[in-house]
């Protein structure tokens, strides 16, 4: 039996029995109890591998795998609870696109960069690039998915430009390094796999990256860049 098959067999046992004692009891036959006349002794013999109808499973292995499965189950439940888009009546294409990407950006399977161009509350035209995964970690998106507020670029995002005041700001994020001095235009380097994301619409976005313009009534322009890291962790 290879390692993968052994782990699958262990998972089947762990999910089938609530406790290690329950598993031991399942390995004891009526004949064992007839001759041994002691359930505790019968359990000990099964645990040691001297009795039993199946493969020997050590107590520490059973309990460790049981704990690991429980941790994974709780983590999955917590992850589902933290999806702020869940249960929302989302109508706009842009918010739908964000909702579709929320879970994968939270768990690191996907890294999305959001470009938005629109007008702020003062009527000034602004644009910028937002590290979606970072924003999800630092603020509550419930107000955006519920329609109470609009997601807009800020001076603290990876890139921010106010077209009326000519204020331009660039900031590296926990996920991306900003390369602002590139003569051909703004670039972002994904820190995990060091791949370059090119946001120039005339160029290809880069390895393992896609550029998706989003038709929306919320903004003048919205584009989402998706990057999938291929680096093994």
Is the model more confident about 194 or about 43?
194
Domain end call among 80, 110, 130: 80
pLDDT tens, position by position, 86-105? 989 999 999 999 999 999 99
In a domain, residue 85? The reply is no
pLDDT category at 28 given cuts 50, 70, 90 is low
| 105-116 core/surface letters (b: 16 or more CB in 10 A; e: else) | bbeeebbbbbbb
Q: Do 104 and 193 sit in the same domain of this protein?
A: yes
CA distances from 214 to 39, 114, 143, 207 (A): 67, 10, 20, 21
Range of the domain at 124: 93-228
**pLDDT for the residue numbered 134:** 97
**pLDDT for the residue numbered 152:** 98
Q: Do 137 and 53 sit in the same domain of this protein?
A: no
Q: Is 192 helix (H, G, I), strand (E, B) or coil?
A: coil
Taking alpha carbons only, the member of 16, 17, 23, 11 closest to residue 69 is 11
**pLDDT for the residue numbered 233:** 43
Helix axes 93-107, 59-81, angle to 10 degrees: 160
In a domain, residue 62? The reply is yes
Q: Do 135 and 197 sit in the same domain of this protein?
A: yes
As a whole number, mean pLDDT of residues 41-48 equals 67
Q: How many domains does the chain have?
A: 2
User: Which pair of tokens denotes residue 99?
Assistant: 């909702």
Q: Is 76 helix (H, G, I), strand (E, B) or coil?
A: helix
pLDDT tens, position by position, 4-22? 665 677 777 777 788 877 7
- Quick one: which H or E segment has residue 79? helix 59-81
Cβ atoms of residues 112 and 142 within 8 Å: no
Distance of alpha carbon 96 from the chain centroid: 18
Q: Do 102 and 217 sit in the same domain of this protein?
A: yes
pLDDT tens, position by position, 57-78? 777 878 888 888 888 777 666 5
Q: Do 24 and 112 sit in the same domain of this protein?
A: no
User: Which pair of tokens denotes residue 81?
Assistant: 């609870």
Q: How much is the pTM? A: 0.66
Q: Do 26 and 117 sit in the same domain of this protein?
A: no
């Amino acid at each position: 039996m290879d390692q993968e098959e052994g782990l699958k067999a262990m998972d089947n046992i762990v999910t089938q029995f609530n406790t290690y004692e329950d598993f031991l009891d399942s390995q004891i036959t009526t004949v064992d109890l007839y001759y041994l006349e002691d359930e505790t002794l019968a359990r000990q013999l099964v645990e040691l591998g001297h009795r039993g109808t199946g493969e020997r499973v050590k107590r520490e292995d059973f309990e460790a795998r049981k704990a690991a499965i429980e941790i994974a189950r709780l983590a999955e439940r917590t992850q589902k609870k933290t999806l702020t888009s869940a249960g929302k009546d989302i109508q706009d294409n842009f918010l739908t696109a964000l909702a579709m990407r929320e879970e994968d950006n939270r768990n690191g399977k996907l890294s999305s960069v959001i470009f938005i161009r629109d007008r702020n509350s003062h009527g000034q035209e602004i644009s910028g690039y937002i590290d979606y995964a970072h924003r999800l970690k630092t603020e509550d998106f419930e107000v955006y998915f519920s329609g109470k507020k609009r997601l807009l670029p800020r001076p603290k995002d990876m890139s921010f430009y106010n077209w009326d005041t000519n204020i331009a700001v660039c900031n590296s994020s926990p996920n991306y390094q900003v390369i602002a001095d590139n003569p051909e235009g703004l670039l972002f380097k994904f820190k995990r796999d060091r791949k370059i994301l090119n946001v120039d619409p005339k160029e290809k976005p880069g390895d393992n990256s896609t550029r998706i313009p989003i038709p929306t009534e919320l903004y003048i322009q919205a584009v989402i860049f998706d990057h999938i890291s291929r680096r093994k962790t």
